[in-house]
Amino acid sequence: MAKRIDIPPTDSAWAPLIQLVRTPVGVLSLAWLTVVIVLALLAPILPLADPLQQDLSRTLQLPSTANLLGTDALGRDVLARIVFGARPALSGAATATLIALALGGTIGVLTGWAGGRWAATGSRLADLLFALPAIVILLAFAAILGRDVSVSMIVYGILASAFFVRLAQSATTAVRHELFVDAARVSGVPRSRILISEILPNVAGPLIIQTSLTFGAALLIMASLGFLGLGAPPPAPDWGSMIADATKQIFVNPWFLLPTGVVLALTIIAANVLGDIVRDGDERSRPVNHLFRARDTAPLPSTREGSDALLTVDDLHVNFPDTGDVVRGVSFHVGRGEVVGLVGESGSGKTMTALSIIGLLPDPGHISDGGLSFDGTELVGMSEKQRRAITGSDIAVISQEPMSALDPSYTVRSHLIPAIRRHRNVSRKDAVDIARQLLADVGLPDPDAVLRRYPFELSGGMAQRVAIALALTGSPQLLIADEPTTALDVTVQAGVLDLLRSLQIERGMSILFVTHDLGVVADICERVYVMKGGEIVESGVVTEIFTRPRAEYTQALIAATPDLQKDISMPPTTMQEAIT
Exposed, middle or buried by CB within 10 Å (0-12, 13-18, 19+), for 37? middle
- 482 and 453 share one domain: no
| pLDDT over threshold 80, residue 480 | yes
The band of 285, judged by pLDDT with boundaries at 50, 70 and 90, is very low
Region 157-172: mean pLDDT is 90
User: How, if at all, do strands 324-335 and 339-343 pair?
Assistant: unpaired
**Total tally of structural domains belonging to the chain:** 3
* Residues 462 and 484 occupy one common structural domain: no
424 φψ region: left (φ > 0), alpha (ψ -120 to 50), beta (else): alpha
Looking at the fold, whether 103 and 202 belong to one and the same domain comes out as yes
In a shared domain, residues 195 and 306: no
Could you tell me if 235 and 137 lie in one domain?
yes
CATH of the domain at 148: 1.10.3720.10
How large is the average pLDDT for residues 488-516? 83
Name the band, by pLDDT with cuts 50, 70 and 90, for residue 96. very high
If you average pLDDT over every residue of the chain, what do you get? 80
Enumerate residues 6+ apart whose C-beta is below 8 A from 86: 36, 37, 39, 40, 43, 239, 263
Give the up-direction half-sphere exposure of residue 125: CA atoms within 13 A in the CB hemisphere: 21
DSSP 363-431: TT-EEEEEEEEETTEE-TT--HHHHHTTBTTTEEEE-S-HHHHS-TTS-HHHHHHHHHHHHH---HHHH
- 258, 114: one domain: yes
Residue 287 has pLDDT above 70, yes or no: no
The answer to whether 517 and 486 are in contact (CB under 8 A) is yes
pLDDT per position as a tens digit, 309-360: 889 998 899 988 877 888 988 999 999 889 999 998 888 888 888 888 888 7
β-sheet bridge partners, residue 227: none
* pLDDT tens for each residue of 542-579: 888 888 888 888 888 888 766 544 444 445 544 444 44
**Does 12 have pLDDT greater than 60?**
no
Q: Which of 2-6, 136-140, 175-179 has the highest mean pLDDT?
A: 136-140
pLDDT of residue 8: 38
Q: Is residue 50 part of a domain?
A: no
Long-range CB contacts (< 8 A, 24+ apart) of 69-77? 69/259, 70/255, 70/256, 70/259, 72/242, 72/245, 72/246, 72/256, 73/245, 73/248, 73/249, 74/235, 76/49, 76/51, 76/52, 76/235, 77/48, 77/49, 77/50, 77/51, 77/53
Residue 55 belongs to some domain of the structure:
no
Question: How many CA atoms lie within 13 Å of 141's alpha carbon, on the beta-carbon side?
Answer: 18
**Do 469 and 482 belong together in one domain?**
no
pLDDT band, very low/low/confident/very high, at 43 (cuts 50, 70, 90): confident
**Whether residue 508 has pLDDT greater than 70:** yes
Q: Are residues 214 and 333 in the same domain?
A: no
Does one domain contain both 363 and 324? Answer: yes
pLDDT at 562 (0 to 100) = 65
Is residue 338 a part of any domain in this protein?
Answer: yes
Residue 284: what pLDDT?
A: 45
Domain range for residue 163?
78-284
DSSP H or E segment with residue 109: helix 78-114
Give strand pairing partners of 324: 320
Lowest mean pLDDT among 106-120, 168-182, 235-249, 288-302: 288-302
Radius of gyration of the chain (CA): 32
Same domain, 119 and 249: yes
**219/345 same-domain check:** no
- What are the pLDDT digits (tens) for 204-219? 878 888 888 899 989 9
C-alpha to C-alpha distance for 237 and 316, rounded to whole angstroms: 71
Q: How many percent of the chain have pLDDT more than 70?
A: 85
Which among 226, 260, 284 is the end of a domain?
284
CATH of the domain at 358: 3.40.50.300
Residue 125 lies in a domain: yes
Judgement on whether residues 99 and 243 belong to the same structural domain of the protein = yes
489 is a domain residue: yes
Neighbours of 132 (CB within 10 A): 11
Q: Which of 475, 505, 525 is the last residue in one of the domains? A: 475
- Contact between 266 and 214 under an 8 Å Cβ cutoff? The reply is no
Report helix, strand or coil for 532. Answer: strand
On the question of a cis peptide bond just before residue 287, with omega within 30 degrees of 0, the verdict is no
Q: Is residue 91 part of a domain?
A: yes
pLDDT for 477 beyond 80: yes
Q: Is 21 within the bounds of a domain? A: no
Instruction: Tell which wins on pLDDT, 312 or 382.
Output: 312
What digits encode the pLDDT tens for the residues 32-42?
999 999 999 99
305 has a pLDDT exceeding 70 = no
Q: Report if residue 424 sits inside a domain.
A: yes
Q: Which of 475, 503, 536 finishes a domain?
A: 475
d(CA 459, CA 574): 39
Question: How confident is the model over 523-538, as a mean pLDDT?
Answer: 89
Flag whether pLDDT at 467 surpasses 80: yes
Q: Pairing relation of β-strands 510-515 and 478-482?
A: parallel
